[in-house]
Structure 1
Amino acid sequence: MHTKIFVVFTFAAVAANAIAQGHERRHGHDHSKAAEPSFGRAADPAKAQRTIVVETRDFEFSPSEITVKAGEIVRFVVTNAGKHPHEMVLGTMQDLKEHNEMMKQRPGMHHDEPHMAHVAPGKSGVIGWQFMKPGEFYFGCFIDNHFEIGMIGRIRVTGHPVSEEPGQHEMRGMYGGYSMSRESSGTSWQPDASPHQGIHAMYGDWSTMTHGFANLIYDRQGGPRGDRKTFSTSMLMVVGQRPVGDGTLGLRGMVSADPLMGKSGYPLLLQTGESANGAPLIDRQHPHDLFIELATTYSHPLSEGSSIFAYVALPGEPALGPPAFMHRFSGEDNPEAPISHHWLDSTHITYGVVTLGYVYNNIKVEGSVFRGREPDQSRYNIETGKLDSTSLRLSYNPAKSWALQVSRAHIKSPEQLHADDDVDRTTASVIYNRAFGASNWQTTLAWGRNAASHGTATNAYLLESAIRTSKTHTFFGRAERADKNELFLPGTALAQETFRVGKLSLGYLYDFPSGSHFKFGIGGLVSRFSLPSELQSTYGSSPTSYMLFGRVKIK
């Protein structure tokens, strides 16, 4: 047991540390709006992801044609191989023409700007620059009549426009021309204002982001059906993207060491869904698979505000429901799964997903075909099967603090023990996020409805919130109500009876101050339950559960 716990707890730290070694921190630039021309902004050359040497000759640039991507920090090293002084000045063609006219009126005038480099014969200069949007831009030399005789070069910028808000990582979204902070699990959206922690790095043309966590948990579920267990949950995710032509190619990988806790998972009162050893899991949360997501994506811009995209995964997440619970800021620090999980986001590990979507500014429409069967108890393998289920989701982010979605799916035979039952699932959710100073607050309100082909429809509701203050204190809570019809084994008196149950959980996490890429914290959680009278003889009149946990998280 101790060996397993040690392996799990160090799982994310060891893997992420290997990625972090020698990584290049992506960005650093001057956010002064007054100094930013329309074609980009000055950047720290020491933070450049790419260096381009431009040689000035009498009277030409070499190379005279350059291609870069939007958001990329470029260090232009300008050398003078000629006999005359030269310069390299960036801008639009209109900017350069106006600059040339000004120089005609004031011959001999010399001035320095971040987008210029003046070089004497045999010398060199440096420009650090970040182009913020795709298009064609130019560079020229305005000494004497060099511009008029053709000393001009062209820069082609590819990709999507990049957010210009200070304090945001410039890594753009994988599915459209917006900040990556909008994207959550699978192809789901969260508010643009949501925190987006992780290690950001560049490897050649690849922009990458790595994040994850590992929890060591002591779990004590109260009442006659309660149980106790010490176990660990974990997740490590690496996302990478690079430009391909005018589009963006992406890779997403996510793994977990949860299978080490065993097939039956961990005790969790009122939880239902999936099975182990031929029996349904009741009052227990199943472990996640070793492979949570292995996906390839491609998006192609249609205009500045619109794009189409494809997402192919084995496993992955179809276009259904809100972001998975461990990817929402409102729920990521809560060490337990929601009891409404199988009404809202249980398809987040699906073995076979193909999603096509269209983005228009703050609206996204997408549809998926996927394998309906939930993962089996063999948590280390990759399953295959027919893509027999479908879903459709509409997402709308009306402002940076809001994310709304509504989705519908027909899921073919999701439960192994009820192979003849198909489920029509409908979900709707609203997420609100507000950042203030070093603090952040997020709340999620969600509803899900499962209509099985045999039996009555059931509903579940979730209200979840978390607030982090001063980067060290996090308070979180979750209130749920669900119609449960799997609380008793088949063949027993109350099997398939539906009971409306409720749960309220409140918790706290303290993160120790850290100057590294890893945060270490300790926390606790207490839960109380609302039960109908028919269940009190089984669960007790007022059971209380709690968890104590330690956590390491990549920031």
Structure 2
Amino acid sequence: MLHPTPPHRLRSRAAPIVLTGLLALNAGTLQAQHAPSHAPEPTPAMPDMAEHDDAKPMRGLLGPYAMSREASGTSWQPQTTPMGGSAPWMTGEWMWMAHGSANLVATDNSGPRGERDTVIQTMGMLMGMRPLGPGTLGVRAMVSLDPWGVGKTGYPLLFQTGETADGRTPLIDRQHPHDLFMELAASYSQPVGESSSAFLYLGLPGEPALGPPTYMHRFSGMDNPEAPLGHHWLDATHITFGVATLGWVWKDFKVEGSAFNAREPDQVRTNIELRALDSWSGRLSYNPSDRWALQVSRGLLKSPEQLEPDVDMRRTTASVIYNRPFERARWQTTLAWGRNQKLPGHATESFLLESALVVDEMHTLYGRVERVDKDELFGEDEPLAGEVFTVDKATLGAIHDFQPTRLGRFGLGLQYSRYAIPAALKPVYGGQPDAWLAFARWRL
């Protein structure tokens, strides 16, 4: 009988990993505050440092708009989404930005399949840009120490499925760790008139044009240390070992298409995996105002699952993000839907609604509600193997951040989650499964 992979425990190695994690840099969600809906530049040249203020926002990597519109990969978010991370600095013609984060997380999941664990999540990113010919060259590197801080078997998360810890059995009721190399990518954009541009994005790894901004880069979801249960319906392709994207931007519209390797990362979390770019996706994005970001996308994923190499998948997503800045607060909400059609096989869906409110840069309240169809909760030799179960989850959390220091900003958070499950799952998961999570975090 197949059971969830046993939990990974952190012991004496936690302290050095914390210190290492605090040195990680991350610039993946570099954003500018209160930017106007259009920010065309008279030339495609690199903006000077004065453009970092609200009156003249920095130009985006991919087109004639404020950089605050750009999120993970080539995805868009509302242009009023705030900036995080360090102030930009120059080295010759290059402008660089950085951002870093680390979470020390203790989680307790109830029921027969529930586990307790303590893990350290880290993410670091560095982004650079410079003028090149008539256009703009951009580079981005993102890394994570999760292979050591979280471990091969990930962290406990009831009803989560996807990927493997050993190459033989699936991870069930656990969230997989991120790879050491999350993104190593370059982009080049060239203006086509005052209001449009064409761009090329290459990554090994990188993120194809499929789904909304990744959950760890969405302002509405980045404060929650847990991945959504619908991660593998919405944005699981954010670490793709081989992607090439071509796109065109016209004012508030963006059309793009990707060829990529859809195989999810394997159990070796520290290497670069090479396969053919045999999958494709397309995405249409529209920002009707500086507070809204909409997208629809569709892709054909060839052999995405290591343990089901003969099964392809057709993924369809749609999302709406709303961001509202206030004088002393920021509020963002995301509504997203994803559908996976196995080929051959059945279809499953995921719905997500999440929101975050930050007041005075010190107090954060966030929540997430999900409904997900799960068909991988049992092993092949178990009676309920392959059956589809609809799982509902509601999460509410709060964080208090202390005053910033020269080393960054530190905070403490607590969240609670409760599940609603079908009667057939209660003998396995308990009558009313829930989970507590406490964490200490650092951000640059």
Amino acid of the residue matched to residue 6 of structure 1?
A
Cα deviations across residues 458-501 of structure 1 (Å, max 9, x unaligned)? Answer: 00000000000011000000000001000001121100000011
SS in 1 for 2:307: helix
Give yes or no for contact 2:419–2:432 (8 Å, CA) kept in 1. Answer: yes
The residue number in structure 2 matching 1:176 is 63
Amino acid of the residue matched to residue 17 of structure 2?
V
1:505 to 391, 395, 400: 395
Give yes or no for contact 1:162–1:178 (8 Å, CA) kept in 2. Answer: no
**CA-CA distance at 1:163 after TM superposition:** 11
**CA-CA distance at 1:424 after TM superposition:** 0.2
2:385 to 476, 489, 495: 495
Amino acid of the residue matched to residue 13 of structure 1?
L
Aligned counterparts of 1:15 and 1:212: Cα–Cα separation in 2:
5
Aligned counterparts of 1:303 and 1:377: Cα–Cα separation in 2:
46
1:14 to 19, 23, 34: 23
The residue number in structure 2 matching 1:47 is none
Structure 1 residues 190 and 372: CA distance shift in structure 2, 3 A: same
Give yes or no for contact 1:10–1:214 (8 Å, CA) kept in 2. Answer: no
Amino acid of the residue matched to residue 243 of structure 2?
V
Amino acid of the residue matched to residue 237 of structure 1?
M
**CA-CA distance at 1:517 after TM superposition:** 5.8
**CA-CA distance at 1:437 after TM superposition:** 1.2
The residue number in structure 2 matching 1:191 is 78
Cα deviations across residues 262-301 of structure 1 (Å, max 9, x unaligned)? Answer: 2110100000011122101100000000000000110000
The residue number in structure 1 matching 2:335 is 445
The residue number in structure 2 matching 1:240 is 128
Give yes or no for contact 2:52–2:58 (8 Å, CA) kept in 1. Answer: no
SS in 1 for 2:104: strand
The residue number in structure 1 matching 2:158 is 269
Query: What pairs up with 1:377-392 in 2 under 5 angstroms?
Result: 377-392=267-282
The residue number in structure 1 matching 2:238 is 348
1:424 aligns to 2:314 (yes or no): yes
Cα deviations across residues 351-386 of structure 1 (Å, max 9, x unaligned)? Answer: 000000000011000000000110001001111110
Aligned counterparts of 2:283 and 2:50: Cα–Cα separation in 1:
25
1:468 aligns to 2:371 (yes or no): no
**CA-CA distance at 1:7 after TM superposition:** 3.1
Query: What pairs up with 1:199-348 in 2 under 5 angstroms?
Result: 199=86, 200-260=88-148, 261-277=150-166, 278-348=168-238
Give yes or no for contact 1:352–1:371 (8 Å, CA) kept in 2. Answer: yes
Amino acid of the residue matched to residue 434 of structure 1?
R
Aligned counterparts of 2:193 and 2:49: Cα–Cα separation in 1:
14
Aligned counterparts of 1:168 and 1:254: Cα–Cα separation in 2:
29
SS in 1 for 2:13: helix
Aligned counterparts of 2:119 and 2:441: Cα–Cα separation in 1:
12
Structure 1 residues 356 and 426: CA distance shift in structure 2, 3 A: same
**CA-CA distance at 1:212 after TM superposition:** 2.1
The residue number in structure 1 matching 2:257 is 367
**CA-CA distance at 1:15 after TM superposition:** 4.3
Aligned counterparts of 2:428 and 2:113: Cα–Cα separation in 1:
7
1:134 to 42, 46, 52: 42
Aligned counterparts of 1:168 and 1:312: Cα–Cα separation in 2:
32
Amino acid of the residue matched to residue 189 of structure 2?
S
Amino acid of the residue matched to residue 389 of structure 1?
S
Aligned counterparts of 1:10 and 1:396: Cα–Cα separation in 2:
41
Amino acid of the residue matched to residue 340 of structure 1?
G
- The gaps in structure 1 that reach 5 residues or longer are 20-26, 28-70, 72-131, 136-156
Amino acid of the residue matched to residue 387 of structure 2?
E
Relative to the length of structure 1, the TM-score reads 0.73
Aligned counterparts of 2:390 and 2:320: Cα–Cα separation in 1:
23
Cα deviations across residues 64-112 of structure 1 (Å, max 9, x unaligned)? Answer: xxxxxxx9xxxxxxxxxxxxxxxxxxxxxxxxxxxxxxxxxxxxxxxxx
The residue number in structure 1 matching 2:45 is 158
**CA-CA distance at 1:11 after TM superposition:** 3.0
Aligned counterparts of 1:282 and 1:519: Cα–Cα separation in 2:
34
Structure 1 residues 546 and 532: CA distance shift in structure 2, 3 A: same
Give yes or no for contact 1:214–1:551 (8 Å, CA) kept in 2. Answer: yes
Cα deviations across residues 47-72 of structure 1 (Å, max 9, x unaligned)? Answer: xxxxxxxxxxxxxxxxxxxxxxxx9x
Give yes or no for contact 2:351–2:370 (8 Å, CA) kept in 1. Answer: yes
Aligned counterparts of 2:323 and 2:78: Cα–Cα separation in 1:
6
**CA-CA distance at 1:246 after TM superposition:** 1.5
**CA-CA distance at 1:6 after TM superposition:** 2.4
RMSD across aligned positions (CA): 2.1
**CA-CA distance at 1:543 after TM superposition:** 1.1
Aligned counterparts of 1:224 and 1:348: Cα–Cα separation in 2:
32
Structure 1 residues 165 and 550: CA distance shift in structure 2, 3 A: closer
SS in 2 for 1:14: coil
Percent identity of the aligned residues? 54
Q: Based on CA coordinates, which of the two structures has the bigger radius of gyration?
A: 1
Amino acid of the residue matched to residue 109 of structure 2?
Q
Q: How many residues align?
A: 422
Aligned counterparts of 2:392 and 2:50: Cα–Cα separation in 1:
42
Instruction: Kindly indicate whether structure 1 or structure 2 has the higher relative contact order, using CA contacts under 8 Å at least 6 residues apart.
Output: 2
Structure 1 residues 172 and 7: CA distance shift in structure 2, 3 A: farther
